[in-house]
Structure 1
């Protein structure tokens, strides 16, 4: 197959993809365009870029025109630490309350809506800007926060966390504020991992093999140097290195059968009658996943 040159890809640089993107050596003939999730979603759907790491729900909602790389995702089995609902009342008492949505990804909002519906909690979702504590103090019953900000604000609520605390038993409540990890709640509900993002490409413009292989090499290097990645990003985040390292080693950067099951179940819950999800259809990927 002949590929357009340069082949445009969109990259969203969040800490959770640092083990891949920090070490990615973009091959010749590939053009990189950077942006936030909303920008890259629009760029991919308009054809401005041909591939991007986009939110899982955008992939689901546009499965008719998009396919996903068959062995890449940003998934977790259990807690993710960076997609959090901050609240003072117990989850069940949020019924009838107001939940603030700051600058969120579509996937996180859809996940919150699914979890509220599955637990019989009807609440009003409103756009509002501010930190979790500011919005709770302003009268909101809950505040959804995602990404690096959510990770910092979670630690701001429950920290500091001493060396004596196991990284497998990190706190989620302190001073009257509960931090509900939505990925963990999804796991309790379904028993499946949750795929927050996939590397999706337009079906009419599959990526060159050299790019896919470069991503595999970058992933292998990043996971193999996780301490270095964590140290570098801990400084930027203003968090302890061991907390950032735990955050990153918690991710599943492949797209294995359990991740696909979780993504398919999420698709069924958010988009009835969605197009079939396709993974790597039409791609020739002779090198085994690293």
Structure 2
């Protein structure tokens, strides 16, 4: 975890490619500084008070809803495939029962999502912490490997690619050479019919963000969503992937916490933390979306 200059309002930033449309153009207003790290580091930084606001794992927002609130119009969500939260496995999903699955230490939400999906499908497997590439860990004897973020996107492409101009990412065989790549967000959609919110922008209830920061974030998002091609070109070079693959990856995301995203977040909360404290947004609303009135 790296930190810039100290200031009166430090925030935590996770610089995965999936938040580039928000963060690449973000100019921090006076009095705001940034601490950067992976999701689990930012979760801890927010909870211990090192930062006051961060784009943190949704599951940590759920588990700490008594001390955290979330911005009402920011998330990192997806409806269907996400491409960068993947379980790589050599056996069919149902045959993972009793097998060994390697887990990343970088993301609490992805681990919790995997646990929910395994439980909901009646698959009991041994989950173990292990770091390394998916193919290396599979070769070492694991039956499945959970990978997230930019590494997962690259390793997904290593299995399913290359994708030429005639192929669509929406119609790919997500398996090759005896390795299957199960997209956990797609599996969640099949299970629930809802989007999955991987992250929200949460802050400590005793330290709400300054208005200037919120305005800067919204302005950066508007710019980013209007320049996805440029952002994709830049990050594709860093990732070693085709620009059009990265652009598809980015335009697949939902960066606003809209009603469908809140439905998915509410359902995930019910599955991962029954009896949790109410999930509150900074405008005073609950995450829960009221049911339609009965005629």
Question: What does residue range 74-113 of structure 1 map to in structure 2 within 5 Å?
Answer: 74-113=76-115
Report the counterpart of residue 236 of structure 1 in structure 2. 238
1:11-47 deviation digits (Å, cap 9, x = unpaired): 1111000000001011112121212222211111111
Q: Is 2:220 the partner of 1:254?
A: no
**Cα distance between partner residues in 1 of 2:171 and 2:76:** 22
Report the counterpart of residue 12 of structure 1 in structure 2. 14
Whether the aligned pair in 1 keeps the contact of 2:40 and 2:106 (CA below 8 Å) is no
Report the counterpart of residue 121 of structure 2 in structure 1. 119
Q: Alpha carbon RMSD of aligned pairs, Å?
A: 1.2
User: Matched residue of 1:69: which SS?
Assistant: strand
Post-superposition shift, 1:226? 0.2
**Cα distance between partner residues in 2 of 1:248 and 1:171:** 20
Report the counterpart of residue 146 of structure 1 in structure 2. 148
User: Matched residue of 1:260: which SS?
Assistant: helix
Whether the aligned pair in 2 keeps the contact of 1:84 and 1:180 (CA below 8 Å) is yes
Pick aligned residue for 1:278 from 275, 280, 283: 280
Post-superposition shift, 1:135? 1.1
For structure 2, the 5+ residue unaligned runs are 1-6, 286-295
Q: CA, structure 1 residues 190+240, in 2 after alignment: closer, same or farther (shift >3 Å)?
A: same
Whether the aligned pair in 1 keeps the contact of 2:101 and 2:128 (CA below 8 Å) is yes
Report the counterpart of residue 219 of structure 2 in structure 1. 217
Pick aligned residue for 1:206 from 205, 208, 211: 208
1:80-100 deviation digits (Å, cap 9, x = unpaired): 000000011110011111111
User: Matched residue of 1:89: which SS?
Assistant: coil
Whether the aligned pair in 2 keeps the contact of 1:115 and 1:186 (CA below 8 Å) is yes
1:42-79 deviation digits (Å, cap 9, x = unpaired): 11111121100100001000000000000000000000
Post-superposition shift, 1:282? 5.8
Runs of 4+ in 1 over 4 A off after TM superposition: none
**Cα distance between partner residues in 2 of 1:6 and 1:96:** 50
Post-superposition shift, 1:129? 2.1
Report the counterpart of residue 288 of structure 1 in structure 2. none
Report the counterpart of residue 74 of structure 2 in structure 1. 72
1:97-128 deviation digits (Å, cap 9, x = unpaired): 11111333000000000000000000000112
For structure 1, the 5+ residue unaligned runs are 284-290
**Cα distance between partner residues in 1 of 2:53 and 2:131:** 30
Q: Is 2:164 the partner of 1:162?
A: yes
Post-superposition shift, 1:169? 1.6
Q: CA, structure 1 residues 28+282, in 2 after alignment: closer, same or farther (shift >3 Å)?
A: farther
**Cα distance between partner residues in 2 of 1:240 and 1:162:** 10
User: Matched residue of 1:129: which SS?
Assistant: coil
**Cα distance between partner residues in 1 of 2:159 and 2:245:** 14
How many positions carry a matched residue from both structures? 279
Q: CA, structure 1 residues 194+83, in 2 after alignment: closer, same or farther (shift >3 Å)?
A: same
